[in-house]
Chains A and B, each alone.
Chain A
């Protein structure tokens, strides 16, 4: 598996091909549509990250020493960003997840979606990803 940094650079590269916001959003919407849906059994309230505007479901499991995340959202643009975050953080070791940041979201021009005031559940989702990583790391040690 590639490092988180490499994956994020790849995503920045992909987005740099687009000339305007519409193309970026259309791509993000595509990503949202192609995100493997969370298994129905995990699309439950316990995995719900509540945003005022859109909902995000996040499920995690440990596979060997890697954390696997699956996620979903009821809004397609939110889901597109969820897809980008999952691609960046899933199948990684807990420590790598804890060390990583989400600055690449700024670089691809989607900063506003990760604003704490946006209330779409994404900021809480990143926090939750880190919490899971922390918990799995404690379990592994």
Chain B
């Protein structure tokens, strides 16, 4: 794939983990949709933090605290630039996507009332369904589901009809974690604007592949995790439009989020600190910024182009295996292939290919409603990143063939 702008040899050298062996075989890491690997450039930032300027932020007058605060705030600014948010205080550090979703859901429980409706898509991760069920139970609002088609796409005809003046909040993932489908979020946001509903987009699966511009999208909330974009686990970001973040009540009480405290009354700090109670994952936030630097240096267009080639090649090669079926066949999808082989349980395939050094995910991918739709217990999911190669796709295909031979 020399026609793309990816220098794959150089990139692979950035990821020390890619040269290790698993079960005596070279690791072929194809579980990128669960978590991405970390380049040396990001690992160095983490090490540098703990070796040179580990301190608690925002409160200290001493130099270390100031250095750590500056680095953390610089990371926030990098993230703002990356997602093109208008204001820096619209970027709230979280522990990850799930935290961001819960923060918004909790805030809305005070704003919704009986008769209001919350729309979610049928393509959601469990962590995206449960907070809304809890929100609806608490507020008396009704949860409505945008159905999906056999191709694993959202049913456009159906979703247009689901919007009404009662719709107050719409929640959809940008990209489905189980199938890789890229959802038509622009159309969904436009529809929501017509009825005055707020929109929260889960960008966890999109962020490694698509650079979202929150102003161009005109989205109200957008959530991501750092660990899917070459950053560390335990840190993420909630983008929220300033007017919404000002309206929502704080989620947790504690340090950082407070302005004045007496036993009679506490006044809250301004944005973004209102939502950042307690000592945050300082190193994680800084490393998140470094991860975005790393990805942007390669460039998201180059990444998308390269991954598309991988996806196309892997799809062709896998489909040559008799009895293999791919779930999620949208023309617009990221480099994710969810599949099964007729008569073989996905768990068995995952177990055998692991023995051959290939890391894939098996199971329902925390998206049981999708599995129920296809009437399957789960799938094998291979998810690719810009550091994967065509040769690795070949290893995957050979391993799956071997597994099929052993298991049938």
CB pair A53–B347 under 8 Å, yes or no, is: yes
Residues of chain B with a CB closer than 8 A to A135's CB:
none
Count B interface residues, CB 8 Å.
16
Shortest distance from the beta carbon of B199 to any chain A beta carbon, whole Å: 31
Contact of B347 among A26, A29, A77 (CB under 8 A): A77
Shortest distance from the beta carbon of A71 to any chain B beta carbon, whole Å: 16
User: In the assembly, what is the distance between CA of A119 and CA of B347, in Å?
Assistant: 10
CB pair A21–B345 under 8 Å, yes or no, is: no
Q: Check: A1 CB closer than 8 A to any chain B CB.
A: no
Shortest distance from the beta carbon of B221 to any chain A beta carbon, whole Å: 30
CB pair A29–B407 under 8 Å, yes or no, is: yes
Q: List CB contacts (< 8 Å) of B272-317 with chain A.
A: none
- Contact stretch, chosen from B59-67, B155-163, B212-220, B348-356: B348-356
- Indicate whether A77 sits within 8 Å of B351 (C-beta atoms), given known contacts A25-B406, A26-B406, A29-B406: yes
CB pair A76–B407 under 8 Å, yes or no, is: yes
Q: Check: A90 CB closer than 8 A to any chain B CB.
A: no
User: In the assembly, what is the distance between CA of A48 and CA of B257, in Å?
Assistant: 47
CB pair B355–A78 under 8 Å, yes or no, is: no
Q: Check: A75 CB closer than 8 A to any chain B CB.
A: yes
Q: Check: A54 CB closer than 8 A to any chain B CB.
A: yes
CB pair A74–B377 under 8 Å, yes or no, is: yes
User: In the assembly, what is the distance between CA of A120 and CA of B23, in Å?
Assistant: 20
Shortest distance from the beta carbon of B326 to any chain A beta carbon, whole Å: 20
User: In the assembly, what is the distance between CA of A78 and CA of B349, in Å?
Assistant: 12
Shortest distance from the beta carbon of B406 to any chain A beta carbon, whole Å: 6
Q: Check: A22 CB closer than 8 A to any chain B CB.
A: yes
19 more A-B residue pairs beyond the given contacts A54-B347, A75-B348, A77-B352, with a C-beta to C-beta distance below 8 A: A25-B352, A25-B355, A26-B406, A29-B406, A53-B347, A53-B362, A53-B363, A53-B378, A54-B345, A55-B377, A75-B347, A76-B344, A76-B345, A76-B407, A77-B347, A77-B348, A77-B351, A78-B348, A119-B363
Q: Which residues of A contact B (CB under 8 A)?
A: 21-22, 25-26, 29, 52-55, 74-78, 119-120
